[in-house]
Chain A
């Protein structure tokens, strides 16, 4: 789920940058440092604006100036139970890996509908129900997150496609229709 989040960060600036456009530089550096990182259990997607750049304080010893910057950012925090769209990366007999933005998901074969089976003889290997559902590398899937784990700067999730409206998403998902397993035919028509 996406949030607008007010955050604060200390930014240090090298003395050689001291000058008139210091605040601009501080903002640039902040954007560079922070955007696209995983901060604990959420990703900082984009910084909307910065406000309240504090007065610089020279750090004793190094001469760097430290600014405390308050900023507002779009963050994405995946939740357990959240349904997200992802793209299949690799397929193996135990399940498949999918990527949802920065988040890597694993969907094991136990968390798929029973009719979807692994097919190793296909090239490339795929999960399929031998009908209209084929999950192979590059397939769009809709996944429900059932487990999350975070480490410093990293996040992993376990997903499930066992449920209504989960799983294979036709390329038509661009039209915004939820195209789960239950509504396959409608989706194809779209």
Chain B
């Protein structure tokens, strides 16, 4: 235990050793003088008051005092030596190396390590800086001791052919909640959830973080199959618990999971001992080598330094909506890759979360900052309070019950036959809590294969007798190898999965994709194999791009999650989306609500819509792509289905608008094509969608800008109703729009859509818009165009009336329809259909917008004037409108007056407001 003692850098070098005061073999004590040395320095001498001073060199002799105790074995310096810098001075045999320290006491000699003296440059406490004990923070060891301990551990593990497995608790092997509802359900055998919560264990913490937590019970649900899993895994792995919960919590959970302490023993580390409140660190437990350590955790972002050793499991969510009760101590999670509902919720908050993360990053600098900790404790307290008060589970169940009741009622009402059926099973209620998690099965496979691979490699390279334990195989490297085979050769593009403005390659999901060997691309290109879409909000451009290349499989992000979970390139079929263009206009003649819904959704979510249609090839979800398609095209697309859909629509349209909601999902949208059959819209693949997208985006943006028309729309609607006189309203409208199918229809649907959004619109209608509207109308040709279209179709189809109606509504109800048709200029609607041509000029775009805003056919010139002097011309306009209306009434068989009038007035009103 000899160590070399250095002179230290505090000496005034260069120095000359004058005399060695101790001989080798002497006992030395701290602060004892060991040698004398001299140094030279300059001193100002003379009369400082008169300013008569000069520098004079001085030589001073001082002693050097021992920084450490022990026995001097020999000097490394000799008398008279000139020393220019810090160097070793002597070798000292120490009595104690102070390698284990407990609260400032040396665990080996009992000396107080906190004493500080001038002689020593470093404190003795710094000699044992590593904290590697699970349940203590005040026991520290030196690097040497740590290495020794770890070598012992590795040797032992190798002998028993095990590895270390660090297990996270919350949402990895268990889920905890404090919702008292669980307790009530446990006591109530009639509750539908009783079966599920029967095996939920509970405990009360005697030293919970707050008063509140002290009073409540913690309910612990083990992941299905956990006991067997742990039992089998513990043959291959030595298990450690590493949780961000408190110590008491961790111990209680460990007691629940492992009552005999056979699995975890006392290898439990919690937030209290972690030393860092934001991240977990393997080095805390295995400071020297993590070669034999594997982690299972549901979050990879808390292991910033140990990613290679981590097997990320999908979070266990048994108590729906509760999440991780200790998550307030961790950064907000950003890596959810689960089904639409949750993802949706998460994505909404991503921006905020990103900001929050920044804050936390800032916080993370001072990891043990008491204020941060306090804030987190408060946060957790709030979350607890909320959970106890709000009882989210109960709320969920009640909601489910309500839905059940309604469903029951519906069945009872629909037909008498089902009545007996539905009532016969006495209140077979659905239950919120479902225990259908299979993760552990896969996890066990992974862990087993990793263990096998590890010891296969170990046996190849080592023989037990000769192994130096420092050169064991690295489990992290093996894990990386195993994982990287999974999706090798796959080139992925993500769509709608990550928020914009995030570096995809450094995001959680990006890192994970990379770790599984897949290549993540930012853009769809020729060699991309999969497009992973978030069903709730797919990215439009990438989707369209992917559609053009049939070899690109469009899969839901659940596919990715399944691959990650199973470590296999899962068959895509159940996750396959079919991007399909759907003519939105077909959604209903009278289906106002439907239109509204559709429009709103498309407006908000960049023109796409997902509906769970009836089963295609794999029975999976289908992506219905609502796009600016012309009506004629759609007819060609799927004539038979259109017909069906139309009929049902018609039936409902007259009396029951609400009925359409269901209709759409079943019948209105065309089904998937069987594999191999050429799609009628294949021709569109060559179409430049990018430019169309831009146009659409522009159009949507402008649409949300002007609200004036909206209110007028409503007024117009009212008028229409009043004037409608006798007869079916839907029919009236149809008729009314005949001359101007696009505009009439669009305004009605627009209106519905906007009605919903009115509140949040900003009132910033630009004059240019209405001006361009006028221009557009002028250029677009005359009223008869629409008629022609209608007639043409009548000829094609057997049921002229029906067909006509549908045609009109199809064209009319879609904003994009109108946009497309207008873009065609004077073309006949049949031939051109609604396909927007690439390379359209901006002016035309503006026209579109204008057309939408305007609604009815209007006088162009006047309108332009109005933009400049609106108020004055208001009255004049009104007159003009009257005339218009009359003309229209005469021209169009007396139908549709109401509609036009409505639009006219609407426009005037709009202008008034602008004025």
Contacts and interface: CB of A to CB of B under 8 A. Distances in A.
B107 A111 contact: yes
A147 B378 CA distance: 39
B106 A158 contact: yes
Contacts of B265: 123-125
A157 B136 contact: no
The interface residues of chain A, by DSSP majority, are classed as strand
A188 B447 CA distance: 46
Greatest chain B CB density within 10 A among A80, A111, A123, A160 is at A123
A145 to B, nearest CB: 8
B231 interface: no
Contacts of B160: 121
A92 B135 contact: yes
Given A92-B134, A94-B100, A106-B139, A147 B266 contact: no
A116 to B, nearest CB: 15
A20 interface: no
A156 interface: yes
Contacts of B135: 90, 92
A146 B110 contact: yes
A137 B102 CA distance: 19
Interface in A99-140: 106, 108, 110-111, 118, 120-121, 123-125, 137
Interface string A17-30: 00000000000000
A95 interface: yes
Contact of B103 (A110, A124, A156): A156
The interface residues of chain B, by DSSP majority, are classed as loop
Nearest to B103: A156
Contacts of B153: 93, 120
A165 B11 CA distance: 50
A92 B105 contact: no
Greatest chain B CB density within 10 A among A92, A94, A149, A156 is at A94
B149 A94 contact: yes
B470 interface: no
Greatest chain A CB density within 10 A among B100, B102, B139, B261 is at B102
Given A94-B149, A123-B261, A146 B136 contact: no
A124 B261 contact: yes
A91 B153 CA distance: 15
Contacts of A94: 100, 107, 133, 139, 141, 145, 149
A148 B112 CA distance: 8
Contacts of A42: none
A92 B107 CA distance: 13
Interface in A142-185: 145-149, 156-158, 160
A147 B100 contact: no
B701 interface: no
A97 interface: yes
A81 to B, nearest CB: 10
B133 A92 contact: yes
Contacts of A147: 105-106, 109-112
B266 A124 contact: yes
B136 to A, nearest CB: 7
A108 B134 contact: no
B103 A149 contact: yes
A123 B260 CA distance: 9
A158 B96 CA distance: 14
Given A94-B139, A123-B261, A149-B114, A137 B106 contact: no
A90 B269 CA distance: 13
Contact of A93 (B103, B152, B261): B152
B165 to A, nearest CB: 15
B104 interface: yes
B139 A92 contact: yes
B340 to A, nearest CB: 45
Interface residues of A, number: 28
A94 B101 CA distance: 10
Contact of A110 (B104, B108, B138, B156): B108
Greatest chain B CB density within 10 A among A108, A137, A146, A156 is at A108
Contacts of A145: 110
Interface string B670-708: 000000000000000000000000000000000000000
Contacts of B9: none
Contact of A92 (B103, B106, B136, B138): B136
A168 B104 CA distance: 26
B506 interface: no
B262 interface: yes
A54 to B, nearest CB: 38
B107 A95 contact: yes
Nearest to A117: B152
A64 to B, nearest CB: 28
A146 B107 CA distance: 9
Contact of B107 (A80, A121, A124, A158): A158
B292 to A, nearest CB: 14
Interface string A82-95: 00000000111111
A95 B149 CA distance: 11
Interface string B77-107: 0000000000000000000000010111111
A13 to B, nearest CB: 28
Interface in B132-170: 133-136, 138-139, 141, 145, 149, 152-153, 156, 160
Given A92-B139, A94-B149, A146-B110, A110 B105 contact: no
B130 to A, nearest CB: 11
Nearest to B149: A93
Contact of B262 (A91, A106, A108, A123): A123
Nearest to B138: A156
Contacts of B133: 92-94
Contacts of A111: 107-108
A106 B104 contact: no
Contact of B100 (A95, A124, A157): A95
Contacts of B260: 123
Contacts of B261: 123-124
A107 B266 CA distance: 18
Contact of A106 (B102, B114, B149): B102
Interface string B260-299: 1110011000000000000000000000000000000000
Contacts of B104: 149, 156
Contact of B156 (A95, A120, A124, A160): A120
Contacts of B145: 94
A111 B109 CA distance: 8
A95 B156 CA distance: 18
Nearest to A147: B110
Contacts of A97: 136, 139
B148 to A, nearest CB: 9
Contacts of B266: 90-92, 124-125, 137
A110 B102 contact: no
A80 B110 contact: yes
B69 to A, nearest CB: 15
Contacts of A91: 266
B15 to A, nearest CB: 37
Interface string B625-645: 000000000000000000000
Contacts of A156: 102-105, 138
Nearest to A154: B103
Contact of B110 (A93, A95, A121, A158): A158
Given A110-B107, A120-B153, A147-B110, A90 B136 contact: yes
Given A92-B136, A123-B262, A146-B110, 4 more contacts: A90-B136, A91-B266, A111-B108, A156-B138
19 contacts: A90-B135, A92-B133, A92-B139, A94-B107, A94-B149, A95-B100, A95-B139, A108-B100, A120-B156, A123-B265, A146-B109, A146-B110, A147-B106, A147-B110, A147-B112, A156-B104, A157-B105, A158-B105, A158-B106
Interface of B: 100, 102-112, 114, 133-136, 138-139, 141, 145, 149, 152-153, 156, 160, 260-262, 265-266
Closest 10 CB pairs of A and B: A147-B110, A146-B110, A108-B107, A106-B102, A156-B103, A158-B110, A110-B108, A92-B133, A147-B105, A108-B100
